[in-house]
């Protein structure tokens, strides 16, 4: 969900910086550090595609049924552009989270990274509480919002697709986190 994916990317940047903080505290270059490249590969090839997959497959669900505008990008350059912009913003917010955390580590403000991580996670889960249960209905905007219909989150094809992409996201997230802890912290500036 767009409202979830965007703050989550910031949170991931903060949390991944936390995992390799020993290296970041020693690294003077915020923009040329050795972690930023692999982190951007992760964002571009693992994190952003998960959100894009759901936006392309179930656009009304991905925006929590706030609008039907995203429903059909065919022959609508602004809608197609919004899809691309969503992918770009996920990568940019992840970088902002990571670079900001690195800056805070260089300034000795370690606690700010913890607060930044908590803020990112809080903003990630907040839409679920503000729109309680809306994610359990699957369909286009008209079906779910205007007709009060739709099918269950647990029914195929949505659940199978969601499970596959979340499995991919969780697996790559774990692999990246392990790499940051085991290898990232052992890098020398």
pLDDT per residue as tens digits for the range 147-183 = 999 999 999 999 999 999 999 999 999 999 999 999 9
Question: Which structural domain, as residue segments, surrounds residue 52?
Answer: 2-186
Return the SS3 of 165: helix
pLDDT per residue as tens digits for the range 3-31 = 999 999 999 999 999 999 999 999 999 99
User: Of how many residues is the chain composed?
Assistant: 189
- Output the six-digit token pair for 114: 């913890």
Q: How far apart are CA 42 and CA 32, in angstroms?
A: 17
Give the pLDDT of residue 72: 87
Number of domains in the chain: 1
What pTM was estimated for this model as a whole?
0.94
Q: How far apart are CA 20 and CA 184, in angstroms?
A: 6
């Amino acid at each position: 969900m767009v409202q979830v994916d965007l703050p989550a990317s910031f949170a991931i940047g903060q949390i991944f910086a936390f995992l390799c903080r020993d290296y970041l505290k020693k690294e003077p270059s915020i923009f040329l550090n050795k972690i930023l490249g692999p982190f951007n590969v992760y964002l571009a090839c693992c994190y952003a595609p998960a959100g894009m997959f759901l936006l392309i497959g179930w656009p009304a669900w991905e925006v929590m049924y706030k609008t039907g505008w995203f429903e059909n990008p065919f022959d609508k350059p602004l809608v197609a552009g919004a899809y691309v912009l969503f992918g770009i913003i996920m990568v940019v917010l992840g970088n902002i989270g990571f670079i900001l955390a690195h800056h805070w580590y260089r300034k000795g403000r370690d606690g700010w990274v913890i607060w930044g991580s908590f803020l990112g996670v809080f903003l990630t889960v907040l839409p679920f509480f503000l729109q309680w249960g809306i994610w359990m209905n699957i369909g286009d905007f008209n079906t779910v919002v205007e007709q009060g219909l739709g099918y269950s989150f647990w029914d195929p094809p949505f659940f199978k697709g969601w499970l596959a992409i979340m499995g991919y996201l969780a697996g790559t997230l774990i692999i990246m986190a392990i790499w940051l802890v085991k290898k990232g912290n052992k890098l020398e500036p």
